[in-house]
Structure 1
Amino acid sequence: MTDTIAVLGAGPVGLAAAAELTLRGLPFRIYERAGHPAASVADWRHVRLFSPMGLNVAPAARHLLDRAGVALPDDEFLPTGASLIDDYLAPLAALPAIARHLTLDATVEAVTRAGLDRVSGGDAAAPRASRPFMIHWRDAGGIRHVDPARAVIDATGCWGNPSPAGVDGLPVAGEDIAGAAGLLATGIPDVAGRDRAGYAGRRVLVIGGGHSAMTVVLELLRLRDTAPRTRILWALRRRDAGRIAGGGTADGLPARGALGSDALAAAAGGRVTLLHGFAASAITVAGDGTSLLIDGHEGDTATRLAVDRVVVATGLRPDLSLTRELRLSHDPVVEAPPALAPLIDPNLHSCGSVPPHGVAELHAPAEPGYYVAGGKSYGRAPTFLMATGYEQVRSVVAELAGDHAAARDVRLVLPETGVCSTAPRRIADPRPAAAGCCGSAA
């Protein structure tokens, strides 16, 4: 049976897993579907994070970069996505101990057990749990490959799978047509920079009440300073706007607290038109193909909006199709691992009330050796921070190395302000070669 551990995704959490595996001397291979690491971060490279650099650098990665002489920005620096890549993720991925295990342009299409589908249990000679995982992937030329792995760390995240505009979780009629026409965007488009031409002087509707939506609204306000004919409509699904302010001045991360406060202040000052209890039902591309009609309800009142652009920033959801043939369970509410879900359910908890968690909550009882980590582990819960993912993979890798005590020594600190962070975890000087500080070739 192979000893290789498969890491799916070369984003912040996948690379943090690689750093942990390197320090533990465990063989691994990273599969990244894009042609470069941190591709999802590159999509929002213009966005400034509300968490400082110190919370965005994994302790194991810091150790490897320090050893290689790579200087990181000050821990209090608030990076953009671009600086997170340039100053941290790209240098980390380029370290020889990690780069030689990195496979780019590798689109993983499925993870299975060798010779089995979801229903099959194997036989007495080779029961299901004894068989290696099989990583089914396609390279840039479209050629399919299948690699065995003794364990899988799924750090593919949720960025490429945005939630649609419908309040029932489904796309509204015409949503896909509007997207194909370039009149509807998801996530956080660079409205004041790279994508400026599509938004300057336009009437723009932003749908969503989370941090992504707030970021887009504030960026549109910045655009309006130089393109005063820009009009901004902000549609909230909930009727009460108060909750979006978050921790405000009491937030442990001031930049995060300022997001909601600044966005609400702009609405109160009339710079943004706020729609409460908004539910879209249909999107129609106007006859000239350059504008949209949005049908729906604002509260109990039917409404029709004429806009030029729509940004749907209604959150993210995990893509569960990758592991369809594995025996995995998911919470029916947030689609997270069942043991983790009650701890992070946004209907029950703020981020500040989430208790420490690691391998014990992430393991899959019916598929030992498979772990979901990072943003995907939180399913549809919106309270994930990178620092949480770093502690998750530290715990998982310790378990895979047989260090069960370290795996369960989870040091996740969640301040009452509702901000996730991890307690500083110092890594000792480079371990002796027998401990495997340099990793080995996959």
Structure 2
Amino acid sequence: MNSLPAADQLPVVVIGAGPVGLAAAAHLVERGIEPLVLEAGPSAGTAVRDWAHVRLFSPWSEITDPAAEKLLAPTGWTRPDGSAYPTGGDWAEQYLQPLADVLAGKVRYGATVAGVARAGRDRIVDSGRDEQPFTVHLASADGREERISARAVIDASGTWSTPGPMGADGLPALGERSAVGRISYRVPDLGDPAVRARYAGKRTAVVGSGASAFTALASLADLAEDAPGTHAVWILRRGVTGSTFGGGAADQLPARGALGLRAKAAVEAGHAGTATGFRTQAVERDGDRLVLVDEDGRRLEPVDEVIVLTGFRPDLTFLSEIRLGLDERLQAPTALAPLIDPNVHSCGTVYPHGVNELSHPEQGVYLVGMKSYGRAPTFLAMTGYEQVRSITAAIAGDREAAERVELTLPETGVCGGAGLFDEPDAAPNSESGGCCAAPATLQIGAGAPASTGGC
């Protein structure tokens, strides 16, 4: 005799109390379905708080969810000025934590998910699989183990805990692990005196080509104005093209376009040099400094610090007993991957998507938010809110609403994808170094020294 409760008597477990996880809970409440949000950290938006000093390139009007606002309204909460751009700290304190507080007992902190499975079935067993609820294995902060039954699982745990390494082959470069004391995988908070002292007057390599790298370069350039000797070396695996600094004025997310222009200004002012076509293979010691070596043996001048901003990847270890359908390259849901693949998509929008694109062979489990994108970049909060609106409608049995599109995304205005640097035909301007030029150090700006080994 099966002693497990009926599926509709069980909660939907949401993993992660970040923006998309909390939005999922709000939509479930709106549908009359009990959510249980499991957050490994001590508060809402734990990952967001790690970059509290970074300003978003989306305004308040684009980072709050409608169902969440309905929950918050009776408390007297009002959305901040929709045209203002909050920091991560603002987002966490003024929106995410109040939302989690309204959800109250539906959110549990210090609850780390160690595994998800079908009750009594490992991933091999077919018999009776779909009739079994999910079992979520927890490791609490005090070391206790716990099992929770769920009718469905929405994994909104993000990718923040698994940043990409420096090595161009997707694995840590030789010597990267042993040099970890001088390597950061986060945009530094230069408003913190201790962090500021770490980079002031130092030579820092910034590895990466996205918005986080732009932010780091702009921040280091500001620091250079006050701390002589501060200099950045921007490490790019491809050449400099018209899209290297993002969409600029063409970006319909103006703050993101402006961020790229700030990074360009940092280079042109001589606060940063650019090493292009450089694919890091090794990190070597030179006394207290580090030397980056590329796959062809080219060595850059020694640096004091390295900031690695090469994207993130999903942690799938605790889903090992679940049957997921993932793209072999992006580790995103199979139906979603073609819509977001940076090897193919270089400009324009990602079509709004929902339950159809996010479903897996294992019915009732969904990866949402940043985690749904796998290794693909440029995720927007609005995309995640639309994902969970659709998924919760499907869980509630409202298929018409689940398949309805209720979101229009802004044009990104940004060209170039992570995979394009290997394709000769993808180079918008071969004279500028191109996507496949031989490794070279490109000096831009009057302040850049004429060294062949770095900037």
Same fold, judged at TM 0.5 (above) = yes
Q: Distance in 1 between matches of 2:34 and 2:219?
A: 44
Q: Does the aligned pair in 2 maintain the 1:340–1:362 contact within 8 Å?
A: yes
Residue of structure 1 equivalent to 2:390: 395
Matches within 5 A, 1:137-286: 137-179=138-180, 182-193=181-192, 195-286=195-286
Q: Does the aligned pair in 2 maintain the 1:351–1:414 contact within 8 Å?
A: no
Question: CA RMSD of the aligned region, Å?
Answer: 1.5
Matches within 5 A, 1:284-323: 284-287=284-287, 290-296=288-294, 302-323=298-319
Residue of structure 2 equivalent to 1:376: 371
The one-character-per-residue Cα deviations of 1:170-196 (angstroms, maximum 9, x if unpaired) are 0001111111xx210002121343521
Q: Distance in 2 between matches of 1:301 and 1:291?
A: 18
Distance apart, 1:115 and its partner CA: 1.0
Question: Which segment drifts farther, 189-198 or 377-386?
Answer: 189-198
Q: Does the aligned pair in 1 maintain the 2:349–2:412 contact within 8 Å?
A: no
Q: Does the aligned pair in 2 maintain the 1:192–1:220 contact within 8 Å?
A: no
Q: Does the aligned pair in 2 maintain the 1:359–1:408 contact within 8 Å?
A: yes
Q: Distance in 2 between matches of 1:117 and 1:17?
A: 27
TM-score (norm. length: structure 1): 0.89
Residue of structure 2 equivalent to 1:422: none
Q: Secondary structure at the match of 2:331?
A: coil
Q: Distance in 1 between matches of 2:110 and 2:411?
A: 42
Q: Distance in 1 between matches of 2:130 and 2:203?
A: 56
The one-character-per-residue Cα deviations of 1:80-101 (angstroms, maximum 9, x if unpaired) are 0111111111111111xx1111
Residue of structure 2 equivalent to 1:430: none
15, 19, 22: which is aligned to 2:29? 22
The one-character-per-residue Cα deviations of 1:329-371 (angstroms, maximum 9, x if unpaired) are 210121100010001111111462422210111111x211101
The one-character-per-residue Cα deviations of 1:277-330 (angstroms, maximum 9, x if unpaired) are 11112113444xx42222225xx6712331110000001111111211111121
Q: Does the aligned pair in 2 maintain the 1:8–1:156 contact within 8 Å?
A: yes
Distance apart, 1:143 and its partner CA: 1.1
TM-score (norm. length: structure 2): 0.86
- Give the length in aligned residue pairs: 406
Q: Is 1:340 matched with 2:345? A: no
Q: Distance in 2 between matches of 1:165 and 1:105?
A: 30
Q: Distance in 2 between matches of 1:249 and 1:243?
A: 12
Amino acid at match of 2:114: E
Identify unmatched segments of 5+ residues in structure 1: 420-442
Q: Secondary structure at the match of 1:267?
A: helix
Residue of structure 2 equivalent to 1:431: none
The one-character-per-residue Cα deviations of 1:13-44 (angstroms, maximum 9, x if unpaired) are 00111111111111121110011110100110
Q: Distance in 2 between matches of 1:241 and 1:140?
A: 48
Q: Distance in 1 between matches of 2:107 and 2:165?
A: 32
Residue of structure 2 equivalent to 1:433: none
Question: Which segment drifts farther, 234-243 or 6-15?
Answer: 234-243
Amino acid at match of 1:9: G
Q: Distance in 1 between matches of 2:243 and 2:277?
A: 13
Q: Does the aligned pair in 2 maintain the 1:192–1:222 contact within 8 Å?
A: no
Q: Distance in 1 between matches of 2:300 and 2:221?
A: 23
Q: Distance in 1 between matches of 2:269 and 2:188?
A: 24
Amino acid at match of 2:172: P
Percent sequence identity over aligned pairs: 49
Amino acid at match of 2:372: S
Identify unmatched segments of 5+ residues in structure 2: 1-5, 415-455
